[in-house]
Structures are given as C-alpha cells and as structure tokens.
Amino acid sequence: MSFKMVTRYAHSPKDIQHYDTKELRDEFLMDKIFSLGDILLTYTYNDRMIFGGVTPKAGEPLEIKLDKDLGVDYFLQRRELGFINIGGSGSVTIDGQKDNIVKHDGYYIGMGAKHVVFESDSSDDPAKFYVVSTPAHKTYPNKKLPFKDAIAMPMGNQKDMNKRTIYKYIDASSMDTCQLQMGYTVLEPGNGWNTMPCHTHARRMETYMYCEFGSKDTRVFHFMGKPDESKHIVLEPEQAVVNPSWSIHCGVGTTSYSFIWAMCGENQTYDDMDMVDMHDLR
Ligand SMILES: O=C(O)C(=O)C[C@H](O)C(=O)CO
Ligand SMILES: [Zn+2]
C-alpha cells in the first residue's frame, strides 16, 4: 500500500495569466485519484480542503492516517469528511461501527472520528472512495448517504446540450455539516455541458472530479479562470481539478460523463452563485 499526499498552493488570478498548458496542469490538475491498494490525496491551500481517492484491495483495509502533517493527534481531530463510492461494493468502519457501501453510496463523518477504515469486497471490482475533508469546528452526527436519498435537481435541456441531474449528498438544507458541501452530477447521454451558463462564488472554493465517461476516448474540456480570461484543462476519466473561489468552473465532454463536486468556504448556500453573463466570457 502506498500513501501519498501532495500540496497545491493557492493562487491569485494574476498568477495564472501567463501559465502555459503544463504549468496550469501542474498547479490545478490531479491526474491520478484511484490506484488499487493506495491512498492518493491532495491538500490544497484553497480553504485547506483535502481530497482524493482511497482504493482498497480486498482483504487489505485502508485508513487515512494524518497527524504530523496536520499538526493534530489524528486525521479528523479538527476536520469532517465526506465520501462517495464510484466503484464496486465495500464498507466503511467508523470507530468500530461497520456499514456496507455500494456504488454511489456516500457518507458524512463528523469531526472527532478516530478511526475510519475503508474496505473493498473484491479486488476485481474494488470500491473507489472519493474522499473530501474540510476543517470543522463542531461534531455533527455521522450519516450514511445512500444515492436514493440524495436531493435530485434536474437541470438543463437537450437543446442546450446540458441536460443533467445534480444530486446533493451533503447539503445544509437536509443535514448538519460545518463547511463541507458535496454532490454528484450526472449528464444525460448526448449532453456535454455542465455548469453552463457558468458562475463563480467568491464565498466558496470548489473541486470537481470527473468520472464515468461515455467511452474510453472521451475527454472533458474543463474551463477555469476569471470569466474574462478563461483557460481550459483537458481531463481523462477520474482526474480532478481545483477551482479557486474567483474562478469559473464548467466543462464540456466529447460524450456524457459524471462528476463529483465538493465545496468549502464562507457559507453553505448552494444557490449563492454569481452568474456570469455570456457576453462577459472571454
Ligand atoms: O452541473 C452543474 O451545474 C453542477 O453540478 C454545478 C456544481 O454543483 C456547482 O458548481 C455548485 O456551485
Ligand atoms: Zn460552483
């Protein structure tokens, strides 16, 4: 098993003005999230979100152990954690309490949980736990978040090539959470655009992890930057991007796809978005 956590710094919009493709990718793209038997995490200085993949082999449980790096006694001493499984079935054991987790199940784990152990039922179809952790100030109850209970918001339409459903898993309207908001967006076949018309939310940063592409050659062109200075990053399946709060975040795929979004910052108000007028995009 290997455990790796990389750091990504925070940027001002001016920093990226002259970035070439490689620099932009090096700073904002996480090119590997799931690797069998491994934990691969990123610590971004944007609101100190930690995110990445936990992919256990069958019979070899994985636990995120972070103390010295965070200056705490254990990983969730001052943090909360959310996850959504996009792989095969598995389980999570939180301080001795085990729950089965099938594909697309999620979980909220409150501050103070000492041991969170992830397991896969089979190495041929391992669970792929996409995990996101944000700083917390209060312990809220752990909560299993089955896909069927997510708040489903149909969005867009076929004519605009953006028909999709946003599934809110961790949302302050239906449960307690300190900072973390998390969900999963699924595009309908034949649709390519997410989050268009696009927005910013200076109050919150956001990460996107793109997955479940319609074909092996599908690519998603993800757009970021100030609305009047947009740049793009081309993503393969199961890669993630960091979006600073000043940045737009939207994308178009060469087929349909899904993505997991997670936010953290000043508020927990999903609809608090500054919509960008199409005339202002450059
Ligand atoms: O498809 C969409 O639109 C989204 O999923 C938007 C994200 O949820 C988002 O950007 C929330 O601020
Ligand atoms: Zn957003």
Q: Which residues pair with 232 in a beta bridge?
A: 223
Q: What ipTM, to 2 d.p.?
A: 0.99
Q: Are 167 and 183 in contact (CB under 8 A)?
A: yes
User: Could you tell me the pLDDT band of residue 250, with boundaries at 50, 70 and 90?
Assistant: very high
Q: Is the pLDDT of residue 1 over 90?
A: no
What is the mean pLDDT of the segment spanning 216-229?
98
Task: Return the residue whose CA atom lies nearest to atom 3 of ligand 1.
Answer: 195
What average pLDDT does this structure show over 190-198?
98
Total number of residues shown for the chain: 282
Average pLDDT score over residue span 237-261: 98
Distance 171 CA to ligand 2 centre (A): 14
pLDDT of residue 18: 94
- Ranges of beta strands (E only) in 159-228 are 164-170, 181-187, 193-194, 199-200, 204-211, 220-225
Q: For residue 185, give the ligand nearest its CA.
A: 1
- CA–centroid distance, 273 to ligand 2, in Å, is 7
Pocket test for ligand 1, best of 132, 151, 185 (most atoms within 8 A of CB): 185
Contact 164, 188 (CB under 8 A): yes
Task: Work out the average pLDDT over 58-87.
Answer: 98
Nearest to 104 by CA among 64, 148, 50: 148
Q: What is the CATH number of domain 2-275?
A: 2.60.120.10
Stretch 44-73: mean pLDDT: 97
| Closest to 247 in 3D by CA, of 280, 210, 202, 282 | 202
Tokens for 46, please give them.
């944007």
Q: Is 166 in the pocket of ligand 1 (CB under 6 A)?
A: yes
Residues at the binding site for Zn(2+) are 199, 201, 206, 249
Q: What is the pLDDT of residue 216?
A: 94
How crowded is residue 67: how many other Cβ atoms within 10 Å of its Cβ? 11
Tell me what the mean pLDDT of segment 168-181 comes to. 97
Residue type at 235 in one-letter notation: L
pTM: 0.98
Query: Which of helix, strand or coil describes residue 76?
Result: helix
Averaged confidence pLDDT in the chain: 98
Proportion of the chain above pLDDT 70, given as a percent: 100
* Ligand 1 contact, 194 CB (< 6 A): yes
Residues 70-84, mean pLDDT to the nearest whole number: 98
Query: What average pLDDT does range 175-186 have in this prediction?
Result: 98
d(CA 191, CA 135): 35
pLDDT band at 186 (very low <50, low <70, confident <90, very high): very high
- Each domain of the chain, given as residue ranges in start order, spans 2-275
pLDDT tens across 25-35, in order? 999 999 999 99
pLDDT tens digits for range 233-243: 999 999 999 99
Q: Is 29 within 8 Å of 235 (Cβ atoms)?
A: yes
- Whether a cis peptide bond, with omega within 30° of 0, leads into 197 is yes
Say what the pLDDT of residue 8 is. 98
Question: Can you tell me the mean pLDDT for 54-58?
Answer: 98
Ligand 1 within 6 A of CB of 224? no
191 Cβ inside 6 Å of ligand 1? no
Binding-site annotation: residue ranges: 199, 201, 206, 249
